[in-house]
Amino acid sequence: MPEQPHEPIVPQRALVIVAHPDDAELACGATVATWTASGAQVWTCIVTDASGGGDDHAEDVGPAARAAISAMRKAEQRAACDALGQAGALFLDYPDGRIEPTLELRRDIVRVIRQLQPEIIITQSPDRRWDPFFLFRHHPDHLAVGAAVMAAVYPAARNSWDFPELLDEGLKPHRVQELWISAAPVVNHWVDVTAGVDAKIAALRAHHSQLGPRMDELATNIRRWLAENGARYGVGAAEEFHRADLR
């Protein structure tokens, strides 16, 4: 069973880096709500342009349709961040569905890290979980973002020799203290999110274009899943992570 520190961990600044709108809320929305309620500044960085989240069977997938979906989902993400009390949302605008952990992406993530200087970063797992529930829930974009974030956090964000052009932008190295991985094959940390469950659900409801028709069922399931997690640790609800101390 993952160990829980005697005192809850609440950073002053934190950053969630994920592939798509709604990824952050699904992965760690209640943790973010718990942190912001305690005074933390938390940002969400979306790597893609969110242009690939329309109807699976749509016949019009041209530039205009993609632009409209992108604008809608970005607005929904900003509303979700507001529901969680966050400092804001950033978008790197890489093509949705085509993410690879390239040097260009690594540099852009390092830029955001150096700009915001978070103590803790939460991101998606670069590795698959092979249990039936998660096996096909790892979107290729999620895996690529997880790999890119890990490479950005260590060593690039803390190292002047990586991407020296960022020094010319006035962005000095920043050492992230902890990296938390969501949906990792191995978890070693949990957060009591009993007080943040309602905010997580409210934030997810902001993603009407993706979750609207099934949101009531999803809300019921999320409350059940978080309660099942919490029961393992003797609290009302919990979100789980693999936590890596990078200090």
If phi > 0 it is left, if psi is from -120 to 50 it is alpha, else beta; for residue 211 that is alpha
What is the model's pLDDT at position 131?
81
Report pLDDT for 74.
Answer: 96
* Burial class of residue 152, CB neighbours in 10 A (0-12, 13-18, 19+): buried
Provide the CA 166 distance to its chain's centre, in angstroms: 24
How far, in Å, CA of 134 to CA of 146, rounded?
15
Percentage of residues of the chain with pLDDT beyond 70: 92
Top CATH class, 13-245: alpha beta
Q: What is the pLDDT of residue 66?
A: 85
Is the confidence at residue 136, as pLDDT, over 70?
A: no
Q: Specify whether the CB–CB gap between 42 and 16 falls below 8 A.
A: yes
Average pLDDT for residues 5-32, to the nearest whole number? Answer: 92
Flag whether pLDDT at 5 surpasses 70. Answer: no
pLDDT at 130: 85
Give 24-53 pLDDT, tens digit per residue: 999 999 999 999 999 999 999 999 999 987
Residue 88 region by backbone torsions, left for phi larger than 0, else alpha for psi between -120 and 50, else beta:
left
Alpha-helical regions (H) of the chain: 23-37, 63-83, 103-116, 140-153, 165-168, 197-205, 208-211, 215-233
In the chain, domain spans: 13-245
Contacts with 216 (C-beta within 8 Å, 6 or more apart), sequence order: none
pLDDT digits (tens, 9 = 90+) for 157-201: 999 999 999 999 999 999 999 999 999 999 999 999 999 999 999
Supply the pTM of this predicted model.
0.94
